[in-house]
Chains A and B, each alone.
Chain A
């Protein structure tokens, strides 16, 4: 009878003693044991223990529960020692998302297939696509409309330069391995696997350097057109590898340096107003 929680209830005085901490140890232990089985006494104790701090705690619980769960990519980046904020900014880079990776993989796979059937044309296609994929990725990562995290990026208390490097690295890290894998499978010379990296770097650098003048998307598009023309005409002349021979590599390296200087000097100008406060 006394254990079913219905026949017997603690009175207010006993419960109040529990709230105030004046009840003796044995009495308190017995009361606490009863509470676990008795809904009525719990409800009664709730009314006696009511205070503002419970409502504040609830707001904290709700805030925690409502904050979005980190995605798989974010958790992976955090596991690699990245801060939560950096992880979120990176995970929001379009190149980090499945659709983008799938697109790059499919295009590269087609280039690989084409190379398997008709040597030069396939190599030409590979050389056309491999450097352009990261360039387009960077354009998408900084391209305003195409970037769903644009507003976060604009308001993030990050130096523009650091953010730029961070996100460009993310793009390269996701695009480069796919292109390298396809390059390995191609019939051409072994160095083809990495030969496209310098044109890619030059493309990214020029895109970022030209962006303030022409807009990011336009810069990426013009570079795409120039690069396509070069590789396609080289392919038509039966040697697509010309675009990545030693002269091509040197030209690209020079462009990388020029672009880097342009970007660094520009970002210094961009950040000057922020640093005046120091």
Chain B
């Protein structure tokens, strides 16, 4: 069971994601954004970075990359699709998740550990965690302020102290089915004591447990 980790021009967290998934016993492979066939994969991660330079809006150009049609198919099939940071922005732009991400409330690039609370554990990211459980992983973004004027988003992780103005403190949002999740902080940076946290493991383990053979 293998996970495709998509690399857009400007993506910069792809190796961290592969390292984190493989250190947890998973199998992950980098896939260039021009790939049009992901049938060998059982799940996909869109990692953080600055896809296509974040030009126009974050994720606005990336959503038209050739690989995104396959990502959309996988989402429709119920396979696990996870967007981290910039990947979350891409999934919103692609319409696979509700809402959009705008600049942080205080216009500051926030790069620090944040405390999160699990508010819904019926998603591919949170299924191994308990509702109410606290998770501490790094946030690293400028446009992490999630807004959803339709108020239809399903929030699965919430900031304990909303650092960026995100609506209802949302740190991670799922689609109705729970198989597509966007998370703004970085679980892949919380998988080793050396990095200051291992709390990201339970989230990525949830993702790996959601993989079923294609």
Q: Do A and B bind each other?
A: no
Residues of B within 8 A of A (CB): none
Which A residues form the contact surface with B (CB < 8 A)?
none
